[in-house]
Amino acid sequence: MTEFLPEAYFTGVYRYRNWSVLAVSMVLGLFSIFFGAMLARQAAQGKLSAGGTAVGLVFMGLPLTGLVFLLQKYVRRVEIHVRIDHDGIACGKYKYPWEEIGMVSGRSVNWPTGIQLIFQKRGRFAMDRHLFVTPPVTLEQYNVLLAELAEKVLPHHPHLVIG
């Protein structure tokens, strides 16, 4: 049985299989190699204590963990689906109803050129939550989305700040 989905004002997908993920992975790999080489050199010279070795392993392990995380998403072709509809915002496995959302907006990004959608949950500690999509939203798509939200969602949720 198929699930009924309301009309979507916006749908998009973020793909980990793109050049920016590879670039970040390479940087993380280089940091890991650099800290590993420093650690090996210091250990060979006998200049490391147990605490220094632990710190070195942490500085080598954190970028290596990030590298493995990004590369496994790249190889597995992981995608995160974004949907904005009458029920709220869905991003991957997370769903945010309009009652929990305080603001929907966008930020200009220059790498690559476009607009990155953001929203904030209501509450005391509101922080931006990014809705990454590949490629970024164009100015025309952004304006259409804001107009539809103002017309169809704002009358039912007057607390919402759009734009």
Helices 50-75/19-44 angle, 10° precision: 160
Q: Where are the beta strands (DSSP E) in 16-87?
A: 79-85
Q: How many residues does the chain have?
A: 163
SS3 80: strand
Cross-strand pairs, 103? 120, 161
Mean pLDDT score, 98-108: 92
Closest CA to 57 of 88, 27, 36: 36
Nearest of 136, 16, 15, 131 to residue 69 by alpha carbon: 16
* pLDDT one-digit tens code per residue, 7-24: 889 999 888 777 777 788
pTM above 0.85, yes or no: no
CA distances from 95 to 84, 116, 134, 159 (A): 10, 19, 20, 19
Domain residue spans in the chain?
A: 8-15+79-162, 19-75
- Highest mean pLDDT range out of 54-63, 104-113, 134-143? 134-143
- 106-140 per-position pLDDT tens digit: 988 876 678 989 999 988 888 888 898 888 888 89
Residue pair 131/118 in contact (Cβ under 8 Å)? The answer is yes
pLDDT band at 4 (very low <50, low <70, confident <90, very high): low
